[in-house]
Structure 1
Amino acid sequence: MDLPENRFKRDLRAGRQQIGLWCSLPSAYAAEAVAGSGFDWLLLDTEHSPGDPLTVLPQLQAVAPYPVAPVVRPVSNDAVLIKRFLDLGAQTLLIPYVQDADEARAAVAATRYPPEGIRGVSSLTRATRFGRVQGYAKRAADEICLLVQVETRAALDRLEEIAGVEGVDGVFVGPGDLAASLGHAGEMGHPEVVAAVEEAITRTRAAGKPAGVLTPDPAFARRCIELGTTFTAVALDIGVLARGTEAVARQFVRS
């Protein structure tokens, strides 16, 4: 049995735009419902959701038959959590709150087996198809895509250093935490925040790495794509559910 190809990584390297949906609902049923909606990738979140490895596993299984790439966000840049998600078969990870090149290098090391890294070895995991993928340990890194989040003023100051770390496949700008770091918590549309996001995208591209962002604002999403993002999340499942049901209720329920 061959090692599955990470098409998301290939498309990112080729510069093909990847449109994504943020999945905060820790449900395999919900993940499968949106897996066929036409997005290129789904972010399975465990940082700002109740999700964990035991909810991500059935989500990965549920979306596997669909032509969409699952991206998993651990709750932190933690080698143990990263190991667990990789063993579950996740091939693309988005690591939050990476502040400098050393933290980026630590994330890379967590995805590599020794001697290049510190990932623990087990030959009987879902990632190895339970021992059926020949040479998995030697080839796994070829199909692992590591994305890091830059989401504070301090991280922006070191963006080129972070982007330049070997093994970092893309840099994601987190507007929510960045807004808070700049003194504008909850104000993603503040001019200073917008300017910082736009500058980060431009600098990431100039550094030779793919840039990503999350914004449910269609106009700003298009602006980010124009500036050069190649993995762009344009909605959140929980937001679609909450705002969509509110819109239906307004048609029939008296205030």
Structure 2
Amino acid sequence: MGAADATGRVPLPRSQSRNRPAVAGPGLSLRRGFLTGVNLAATLPRAAFVVPMSDDEEESMARTFKEMLATDELIRVFALGRIPNPIIVEMFGLAGKFHGFWLDQEHTQLSTDQIINLSLAARANHFDSFVRVPPTGYWQVTQCLEAGAGGVMAAQIHTADQAREFVSWCKFSPQGTRGLNAGGRDADYTHKPPAQFVEDANRDHFVAIQIETAGAVDEADAIAAIDGVDLLFVGPADLSLALGVVGQFHHDTLWDAITTVSEACSRHGKAWGCVAPDPPFADRAVEHGCRMPTLGNEMHVLRKGIEAFHSAFENQFG
């Protein structure tokens, strides 16, 4: 659950229905979507109820990336993977500067159990989240979604056909080929009727395609046109490598490719995001229409923190 507000109330996770009946133990009650410590045993023995939340309370709950993309706001995210600890998610949440994060299963050894725990931490801190996966297996996509991630992103895409196949793994028939199992988090652990689960999942799950190869840049227009793709995501490290300007994040060749992606997204009404290697890159990307800059990961934060401590205690280090 999230942090208590000024009245001592703790918001319920956003995925719980605003009108779903709930049961609370002795001394606990559910009112207006909040868990409170008020003892109602004298008047309502072992009873609890949920009252629809007010507009202000609903606004305080987490929004999905797809809901945010439907507005014109800038969506600030961070990445996580090598130190997959829910405490890190909570620290970012307490900072109050980010809208969500993505988990890196391409370059780290994230397990499904870790994704479950980090997704729980996301919801507790009013974050949405998605997982970057290599486009090598349908099962990875399914397990990430059933574990509770809000969506998935395909790494190392080279062609529009590859992107279409990835989207099909994310969607139930008739939009795709995903297999139906309602035991996971995205079906509220069997609470959702199958038909409602299919409708909600096809509508709500976030799907991104990473543009980090020369082939993906060449087919950016076709990829942006794919129904079911919500975001094109530029990976400047691999893209600079593919274009022969490795690590030169302000090189004209790299930015020509980024402009190609940006223009393709504009033509098809799609958003684009990126990893921002440095602040000037982030500024320039946003000027080019980037809606979702990734402003670092836990390894950057740790390194910068160590450097800051070294600087602050310079006299002690000599």
On whether the aligned pair clears a TM of 0.5, the verdict is: yes
Which amino acid counterpart does residue 92 of structure 1 have in structure 2?
Answer: G
Residue 145 in structure 1 maps to residue 206 in structure 2: yes
Larger radius of gyration: 2
Partner of 1:243: 304
Whether the 8 Å CA contact 2:167–2:176 is kept in 1: the answer is yes
Matching residue of 1:27:
85
- Structure 1 unmatched runs, 5+: none
The reply to whether residue 214 of structure 1 matches residue 272 of structure 2 is no
Identity %: 25
Query: Is contact 1:198-1:224 (8 Å) kept?
Result: no
1:157 paired residue among 190, 193, 218: 218
The change in CA–CA distance for 1:36 and 1:201 in structure 2 (over 3 A counts) is farther
Q: Distance in 1 between matches of 2:70 and 2:158?
A: 24
Measured on the aligned residues, the alpha-carbon RMSD in Å equals 2.2
Q: 1-side partners of 2:159 and 2:62: how far apart? A: 30
Could you tell me which amino acid in structure 1 is paired with residue 151 of structure 2? T
1:5 Cα deviation (Å)?
Answer: 8.7
Give CA deviations for 1:6-50 in whole Å, capped at 9, x if unaligned. 621011122321011111322222222223322012111111222
CA gap 1:202/1:172 in 2 versus in 1, 3 angstroms: same
> Helix, strand or coil: the match of 1:232?
strand
**Cα drift, residue 193 of structure 1:** 1.8
Deviation at 1:143, TM superposition (A): 0.6
AA aligned opposite 2:88 = A
Q: Which runs of 4+ in 1 moved over 4 A?
A: 1-6
Partner-residue secondary structure (3-state), 1:50? coil
Q: 5+ residue gaps in structure 2? A: 1-15, 19-60
Tell me the TM-score normalized by structure 2: 0.74
Give CA-to-partner distance per residue, 1:45-92, whole Å, 9 cap, x none. Answer: 111222232211110111212122112112335211000011112222
Deviations 1:172-203 (A, max 9, x none): 11101101101122333333223322442233
Q: CA deviation at 1:222?
A: 1.5
Once residues 99 and 136 of structure 2 are traced to their aligned partners in structure 1, the CA distance between those partners, rounded to angstroms, is 25
Kindly report which structure 2 residues correspond to 1:14-53, keeping only aligned pairs within 5 A, or say none. 14-24=71-81, 25-37=83-95, 38-53=97-112
Q: How many residues align?
A: 255
Report the counterpart of residue 190 of structure 1 in structure 2: 251
SS state of the match for residue 191, structure 2? coil
Distance 2:136 2:293 in 1: 22
Aligned partners of 2:175 and 2:101: how far apart in 1? 29
Question: Which residue is equivalent to 2:3?
Answer: none
Whole-Å separation in 2 of the counterparts to 1:2 and 1:117: 27
Determine the structure 2 residue equivalent to 1:11. Answer: 68
- Matched position secondary structure for 1:47: coil
State whether structure 2 residue 191 is matched by structure 1 residue 132.
Answer: yes
Q: Once the 2 structures are TM-superposed, how far is the Cα of residue 103 of structure 1 from its aligned partner?
A: 1.0
- Is the counterpart of residue 101 in structure 1 residue 164 in structure 2? no
Q: Per-residue CA shift, 1:120-150, capped at 9, x if unaligned?
A: 1112212111111232123311111111101
